[in-house]
Structure 1
Amino acid sequence: MSTEPNMAPINEMSDVFVIFKNTELAEALNVGPSTVSEMKRRKNIPPEYWPDLIPAARAKGRSDLTFERMSELAALRAKRGVSA
C-alpha cells in the first residue's frame, strides 16, 4: 500500500478530506472554501454533495470512494452519535 496521504484507507468521514486540498474540494462541490472548512470542522459531507464528490475522488485515483462507502461512513458517524 502506498504511504501517500491521498492513498490512505478511507475509514472515517474525516479521511475523505485528506484526498483534497480545501480549494479543490470547494471547486468540485461548487461551494465556497468556507463551506468546505465547515464540513471539515464537522467531519461531514452531506449526501447532496456526494454526486459531485465521487467523480472528483475518481479523478484523483480514488475509486474506493463510492456512494456505498459514503453511506457506510455516514452510518458509522450516526451510530457514534455525531450530529451535523
Structure 2
Amino acid sequence: MRSDPQIQSVMDLFEALGGTSAVARLLGVGQSTASEMKRRGSIPSEYWVGLVQKAHEAQIVGVTYEVLAFVHAAAKGKLPGGVEAERAAS
C-alpha cells in the first residue's frame, strides 16, 4: 500500500496516482482527456466515484471524496475560513 500523501491540489493527486497515464487508465479516458484535467486543475465530478473506487482497489491511500472536494474548492478559492488549518492539523 502506498503511503498517504498530503494531497493539496489536482497536481498532487495526479502524482499520488502515478501520473497522467495512470489517471487516464484509472478513469478509462484517453491520455489527452486526463492531460486536460491536469492542466485545468480540475477533475469533473462525474469521474469522482470511479476514481475513488479505482484508487481503493489499487491500494492508493488518501484519495477520498473529502480530498477531491478539498482540492477543487481550494483551487477555486472557495474554502471556508479555518478549513486549511484544520486539514493541515489532521
> TM-score, normalised on structure 1?
0.74
Structure 2 counterpart of 1:38, from 36, 39, 47: 36
C-alpha separation between the residues in 1 aligned to 2:5 and 2:35?
21
Structure 2: give runs of 5+ residues left out of the alignment: 79-90
C-alpha separation between the residues in 2 aligned to 1:36 and 1:62?
18
CA RMSD in angstroms, aligned pairs only: 2.1
Give 1:70 deviation, angstroms.
0.7
**Higher RCO, 1 vs 2 (CA within 8 Å, ≥6 residues apart):** 2
Partner of 2:63: 65
> TM-score, normalised on structure 2?
0.69
Give 1:7 deviation, angstroms.
4.7
SS at match of 2:63: coil
Name the % identity. 33
Aligned pairs for 1:1-84 (under 5 A) are 7-18=4-15, 19-79=17-77
Structure 1: give runs of 5+ residues left out of the alignment: none
C-alpha separation between the residues in 2 aligned to 1:73 and 1:23?
20
Higher Cα Rg, which structure: 2
Q: Is this contact kept in 2: 1:39–1:45, CA < 8 A?
A: yes
1:24-63 per-position Cα deviation (integer Å, ceiling 9, x unaligned): 2112212111001111111211111111111222233323
Aligned length: 76
Q: Is this contact kept in 2: 1:26–1:32, CA < 8 A?
A: yes
